[in-house]
Chain A
Amino acid sequence: MIISNLELIPGKRVSKHLGLVQGSTVRSKHVGRDLMAGLKNIFGGELKGYTELLQDAREEAVARMVEQAQSVGANAVLNVRFSTSSITAGAAELFAYGSAVTLE
């Protein structure tokens, strides 16, 4: 499965277009991490816990997108985009989408 944020893969030809596929996940932080983040809000600096959390969540969103692409019979997802939105306090949605295609 090729995942790329280019619209075309050099040297390969798109033989079939299978439409948009997407994957999303909503994550929230546990209280301990929130507490640490509260402290960090006084001192500044990187919130490592959140960085990892969002990275994990993004991988999960990509995995779901790939699952959907496989179910429609694609062997590549092109033009992938990420988007993040904070839904309520303490929860964020991570969203990945792209177009599923069959490459030759």
Chain B
Amino acid sequence: MADLISFLVLLALGYGFGQYFERRHYRSIRRREKELQDILILQSKILPATLQNHHEQFLVNGNVVISVDYFKRFVAGLRNLVGGRVTSYETLIDRARREAILRMKEEALASGAKMILNVKYEMCSIYKGRGRQIGSVEALAYGTAFNPTPATPATAPGGAEHGA
């Protein structure tokens, strides 16, 4: 009986807090995606010709570890019986990926970069192997950020101070 009560309490806590955190996270993701949409993210490895000879480039990355909650894990367990889409985990991974991209963009923005090339994703499940827990996922996004610099002063004397 005590087991059942603690199970139900955990389930209720997981549902309440889990849904609350998820909604809050999605709101924040959507807001920041709007703010950061000016920074281009490309899969391409080729820099546009206009930037060829005046740019700085550096590696940027963003990562996040997000944990499942008790309720999600329970629902996923039930899903395993009948098969089909595990929606509770889909949203978890979606959040992790989008958050990782946003953090990468924020890092790029902090250094004044305008575009990120050759973006790659990497996922890893952190708690694997610990009992029956499926645990948390880490999402990492990385790419090469390009910061356009004014053309060399010799060729464009007037335009060099423009950005400052």
A residues with a Cβ closer than 8 A to B are: 2-11, 37, 40-47, 50-51, 54-55, 58, 62, 80-86, 88-90, 92
Residue of A nearest to B64 (CB): A51
Are the CB atoms of B59 and A3 closer together than 8 Å?
Answer: yes
Query: Contacts of B17 on A, CB cut-off 8 Å?
Result: 42-45
10 closest A-B pairs by CB: A44-B69, A44-B18, A84-B124, A89-B130, A50-B65, A43-B17, A45-B21, A10-B47, A47-B65, A40-B67
B residues with a Cβ closer than 8 A to A are: 10, 13-14, 17-18, 21-22, 25, 45-47, 51-53, 55, 57-59, 61, 63-73, 99, 117-118, 120, 122, 124-131, 133, 135-136, 138, 140, 142-144
Query: Contacts of B61 on A, CB cut-off 8 Å?
Result: 58, 82
Are the CB atoms of A92 and B45 closer together than 8 Å?
Answer: no
Write the nearest CB–CB distance from A69 to chain B, whole angstroms: 13
Query: Contacts of B122 on A, CB cut-off 8 Å?
Result: 82-84
Query: Contacts of B131 on A, CB cut-off 8 Å?
Result: 89
Residue of A nearest to B44 (CB): A6
Are the CB atoms of A54 and B63 closer together than 8 Å?
Answer: yes
Are the CB atoms of A44 and B67 closer together than 8 Å?
Answer: yes
Residue of B nearest to A38 (CB): B133
Are the CB atoms of A89 and B129 closer together than 8 Å?
Answer: yes
Please report the C-alpha to C-alpha distance between residue A45 and residue B124 in the assembled complex, in whole angstroms.
Answer: 16
Write the nearest CB–CB distance from B70 to chain A, whole angstroms: 5
Residue of B nearest to A78 (CB): B144
What 13 additional pairs, Cβ within 8 angstroms, besides A43-B18, A86-B125? A4-B57, A6-B144, A7-B45, A10-B52, A37-B127, A43-B13, A43-B21, A44-B67, A44-B69, A45-B69, A50-B138, A86-B127, A89-B128
